Structure 1
């Protein structure tokens, strides 16, 4: 399904779990007819437990609750956690619930990485925040920096349709909710998804359009930055024509190898004037960007091979001057208060021994779309969890009923 730009929406930026979780849980508590949730990760911690309780409460008062999780990202939920929800009427679906091999998760590629919530067809949330306590500041120095948006208006109908499209193979009955399409604000929005069918490059295409049309500023804050060669070239070309191109990347990474890959690209970008800042206060998990004074995006897609060529992703592209400025002011404060700027002089130290690796990295980014097509593919496969009370956990797992 192709989505179009929708006029008349309202958008609110939500920063980190401190803003995101209370608002999502408040809206679920107020739901009257239907809650649709897609997420990559749920952990059994204080965030996951609160999500579990608000979903149970909603189901018990007659709200239809459809929760879809990824079989790789959400691989360790206990039988008790799942049964408490399914017994209350929460419908849980697992994307690609593959069994383990020698205790290892084997379903690494082509993951459901989207983070979407749609409530009563009236309100929706999109972003990069999972349901885990490591998105909260009190988690400690490894708490993640991340973003989401709450939206109201005609765009919610597209998000409702997109979620149902993913869940459809596992649904017992079609949705009875008619999304509200009345105008709610001044923001224009486009929902763009990445799948392994007809929309394999749609998110990347929207980034490329924005970069090519940028006139004076472009800011990208992305957790796992290792994009394809076309996107790298357009960033460099934008800087060459006078656009101030600023990248905010991980300086305190949750996965050090990811930062290592990103740094292989620094020399190529810095030598043509791209500014690179590493965020050092906490691990950066965000996937946001803005261009000039109107365009912005928030979503689940990193700029790396997994997100751009394998995973199922969802981003909102937003044209709204107020939102653009709010996001810019926030990102600018990160740069001035919590980032270190990377200089070309620093990067070229020891360049001689890294040159072969950089050469390989560039060829990898150029060839990865073709390489990705060789990875194991499958049609989206969902399994609904309906464990019997007296059935042992191992049996549930081996049958694919639990992730």
Structure 2
């Protein structure tokens, strides 16, 4: 019996060694950033068995066989639809500003998707104003309402949105609602789910979380977009989930969530609708491409308000949003101002920010003082010193959980949407960003960012260097886990 246990022990060691060696080879042979590969190797070696299990669950982009095949088959028809927008006179590169011109080139060559002019934009930052605006537009809907959200959290004015959707469905409006399974568990357990389905609303659970799927698909791959399209005439996107901040995560100790939404009309609405249709087909297999927009842009019309829609996620060209972000920052001549709730950037993005500051551009980063993820909070701080040494100014916002995702370049051009500056948003999730070449809108966004700074304190390098050894240890510890953050 003793020999049997000895043999079993040796066999277990050999099997585990082979497993670790196999996973190590897989990590090394994958073509990705060296920093990510090294972080995964550290996790695998520091956390025996658990590290290997984490890699199988979270280490590779795995949409699941059925969805992956569907996304591959979908790309060509969607690319053809996108390319058709180039024939629309709303695509007029000769009128574009220098910031969006290069981004239009990039997105057009990689996805066939051009920037389009002739839009109107409204920046909304007060939660009650946002929700009342959405309700008002839903009440005017005549034919269709399409929605995608990561989180739908019942309570407060969100219940009024739900009521408006049910009333719209009862008067014959086609309502399609796609909600992330991990982000909206409370909704799917609530009476609202049943009431909406009974009213004829199509409610689909995106990327369903289930123990049976644990090894079939990467579990932290999430549907993170926030989209509303009404009658293909009005669209909303931005950082705000379908939540009323006064009723959401009140016990988390971070204060109310601070968000924005952008209300859009014009040709870009049809493009945002097409992104919803992409998500709907990935999940259901049903194709519902919208009509191409009607574009009647007069040559003398000014300003043109061009918008480049930049989607990302499995099935889309890899790293597109990361490329757009890098390209936008590299074009800065005067200033770069960024707000993000989760700051765990890639090594490439860190170098881009440092280089931009080192060439004399004012670079400002605004992030929340308190975060709903302690791991992210500590990992973010691991980047402070090298960024401040390079000249980047860092502000910690103390007025709540600053959830706005925005980048303003030279006070003339901006990026707004759903994308956090972390590995999951930039490389993994279904996300959406609008690149907006509109000085009046950008000025509004810049002033809103300024209001965030007025409710923040600047991190001073000399004082930061005096932080405790305990803080430094936690920063470096959680930095190692950045592939999971």
Q: Common fold, TM-score beyond 0.5? A: yes
Contact 2:209 2:219 (8 Å CA) reproduced: no
Structure 1 residues 90 and 179: CA distance shift in structure 2, 3 A:
farther
Give 1:142 shift: 1.6
1:7 aligns with 2:120: no
Give 1:288 shift: 0.8
- C-alpha distance in structure 2 between counterparts of 1:135 and 1:171, whole Å: 37
Find the partner of 1:23 among 133, 138, 141.
133
Instruction: Give the match's secondary structure for 1:260.
Output: helix
Instruction: Give the match's secondary structure for 1:50.
Output: helix
| Structure with bigger gyration radius | 2
Find the partner of 2:276 among 158, 163, 171.
163
Contact 2:336 2:410 (8 Å CA) reproduced: yes
Find the partner of 1:189 among 307, 318, 322.
307
- C-alpha distance in structure 1 between counterparts of 2:470 and 2:210, whole Å: 42
1:52 aligns with 2:179: no
Find the partner of 1:97 among 204, 208, 212.
208
Give 1:145 shift: 0.8
Contact 2:354 2:391 (8 Å CA) reproduced: yes
Instruction: Give the match's secondary structure for 2:135.
Output: helix
Structure 1 residues 51-98: Cα deviation after superposition (integer angstroms, max 9, x where no partner): 211111111111110100001101122363212111111111111123
Structure-1 residue corresponding to 2:183: 73
Higher strand share: 1
Give 1:199 shift: 2.5
- C-alpha distance in structure 1 between counterparts of 2:246 and 2:382, whole Å: 28
Structure-2 residue corresponding to 1:397: none
Structure-1 residue corresponding to 2:237: 126
- CA RMSD of superposed structures (Å): 2.7
- C-alpha distance in structure 2 between counterparts of 1:294 and 1:37, whole Å: 30
Give 1:326 shift: 1.1
Structure 1 residues 186-231: Cα deviation after superposition (integer angstroms, max 9, x where no partner): 2111111111233331111111001111011110000101110111
Structure 1 residues 172 and 246: CA distance shift in structure 2, 3 A:
closer
Give 1:339 shift: 0.5
Structure-2 residue corresponding to 1:383: none
Contact 2:309 2:434 (8 Å CA) reproduced: yes
1:174 aligns with 2:291: no
Structure-2 residue corresponding to 1:147: 260
- C-alpha distance in structure 1 between counterparts of 2:246 and 2:328, whole Å: 29
Structure-2 residue corresponding to 1:382: none
Structure-2 residue corresponding to 1:323: 441
Structure 1 residues 53 and 242: CA distance shift in structure 2, 3 A:
same
Instruction: Give the match's secondary structure for 1:5.
Output: coil
- C-alpha distance in structure 1 between counterparts of 2:376 and 2:290, whole Å: 43
Instruction: Give the match's secondary structure for 1:8.
Output: coil
Contact 1:47 1:131 (8 Å CA) reproduced: no
- C-alpha distance in structure 2 between counterparts of 1:132 and 1:79, whole Å: 14
For these two proteins, the number of residue pairs brought into alignment is: 363
**Structure 1: gaps (5+ residues):** 373-403
Contact 1:9 1:151 (8 Å CA) reproduced: yes
- C-alpha distance in structure 2 between counterparts of 1:133 and 1:143, whole Å: 9
Contact 2:322 2:427 (8 Å CA) reproduced: no
Structure-2 residue corresponding to 1:41: 151
- C-alpha distance in structure 2 between counterparts of 1:335 and 1:176, whole Å: 40
Structure 1 residues 123 and 171: CA distance shift in structure 2, 3 A:
farther
- C-alpha distance in structure 2 between counterparts of 1:138 and 1:40, whole Å: 15
Alignment of 1:175-324 (within 5 A): 179-183=293-297, 186-324=304-442
Q: TM-score, normalised by structure 2?
A: 0.69
Structure-2 residue corresponding to 1:380: none
Structure 1 residues 151 and 234: CA distance shift in structure 2, 3 A:
same
- C-alpha distance in structure 2 between counterparts of 1:111 and 1:249, whole Å: 22
Higher relative contact order (Cα pairs below 8 Å, separated by 6+ residues) = 1
Instruction: Give the match's secondary structure for 1:72.
Output: coil
Contact 2:156 2:247 (8 Å CA) reproduced: no
| Greater shift in the superposed pair: 39-48 or 207-216 | 39-48
Structure 1 residues 286-342: Cα deviation after superposition (integer angstroms, max 9, x where no partner): 111100032101111100112112211011110111111111112112212x10000
Structure 1 residues 246 and 197: CA distance shift in structure 2, 3 A:
same
- C-alpha distance in structure 2 between counterparts of 1:226 and 1:138, whole Å: 23
Give 1:150 shift: 0.7
Structure 1 residues 135 and 309: CA distance shift in structure 2, 3 A:
farther
Structure 1 residues 353 and 5: CA distance shift in structure 2, 3 A:
same
Contact 1:18 1:136 (8 Å CA) reproduced: no
Instruction: Give the match's secondary structure for 1:340.
Output: strand
Structure-1 residue corresponding to 2:19: none
Give 1:352 shift: 6.3
Contact 1:252 1:281 (8 Å CA) reproduced: no
- C-alpha distance in structure 1 between counterparts of 2:149 and 2:467, whole Å: 41
Q: TM-score, normalised by structure 1?
A: 0.83
**Structure 2: gaps (5+ residues):** 1-78, 80-110
